[in-house]
Amino acid sequence: MRKRCSKYSLIFVVIIIVVAVTANNTYADSVLSQGNEDIPSNWAKAEIDKAKETNLLPEEIQGEYRSNITREEFSEVAVSLYEALSGKESIMQGENPFTDTQNTKVRIANNLGIANGIGDGKFAPDDPVTRQEISVMLYRTLQAAKPGYDYPDIRGCIFADCDMISSWALEAVCYLYGIGVTNGVGDNLFIPKGNTTREEAIVLAKRMYDKVLASNNNLIVSRGGTSRQENVTKLKLEKLIAEEMGKPYQWGGTGPDSYDCSGLVYSIYGKLGISLPRTASSQAQVGIYVSKEDLTYGDLVFFARDGKNINHVGIYAVNGEFVHSPETGDVVKKTTLMSGYYKESYYTARRVIK
């Protein structure tokens, strides 16, 4: 009996040792495996490992990955990202403008124009970084590291809570979304004033690094495999369309106060730098053909009352709707393609945004 107990005790000890060794090597550095927060979420592990390999992850924030990152901590990440993107070593200059922090990286980030104070000589180093603040700091980091890149002023926001994004952050949020660095949080929301965890901040910095590394002296690749310029154009188109909604129909009108159908298309695309003919039938001859099933935002949709002669044009939006200036007594608005007159008279579509 005693031998049997000794045998079981030995097996138990071996199991404990195996479990301990396995747990100690579950993630990257065993020194980090002290608690759940010290181990990144599954979706972030690989990116955090790579961030460490490329010197994007300061030692001070290696751990507690699921806790909110502070303004001081992300300043350190931003400076590391700047050095990686620019190939330059950052240097602290001038007197410390802040009374509530002596952090060298905060001062460097301030020198580079990446991080600003909150007023009265304060930086608020321990305050959490919101999603809109981190977007601005990432955007400024890119601008500081790559001043020769093209930075169009994009403010055509696609999120349902765009009105919650501060005016000083809108350009950064839209730009980073356009190049595929930032995303929403679900339900087409951005939650601009929500906090950012350490792991989220690190992944964003790594994503920015990867985008620049894959670029050819400019950020030309965006989400969905489309060109960055195409994405920028569509964002501008959304803004231009919003400005024309509700304006009255007028035969022969090309704006700015009223439009006919082709006049609306002619005017809006002209502002995008896309030269189109004036009439709907002529506009149907430019660009490339696209099937109704493959319509994307900005495609031109054409209608023929008699089934063969084009007499109307609009701009495809989303969810089966298009924007157009219909007829006398009506205004620029959205209408569905999925039912009624416009379903029956739909004729063809052309893609003019490249």
**Sheet harboring 300-303: ordered strands across?**
288-289, 346-351, 300-303, 312-316, 321-324, 333-336
- Of 21-25, 110-114, 160-164, 339-343, the range with the lowest mean pLDDT is 21-25
pTM above 0.95, yes or no: no
Tokens of 46: 């690989």
pLDDT of residue 217: 72
User: How is the chain split into domains, by residue range?
Assistant: 25-225, 236-351
pLDDT digits (tens, 9 = 90+) for 218-273: 774 344 334 445 566 787 898 899 999 999 999 999 999 999 999 999 999 999 99
CATH of domain 236-351: 3.90.1720.10
- Distance CA(137)–CA(155), nearest Å, equals 17
- Distance CA(337)–CA(253), nearest Å, equals 24
- Distance CA(318)–CA(295), nearest Å, equals 9
pLDDT tier, 187 (very low <50, low <70, confident <90, very high otherwise): confident
Separation of first and last alpha carbons in the chain:
82
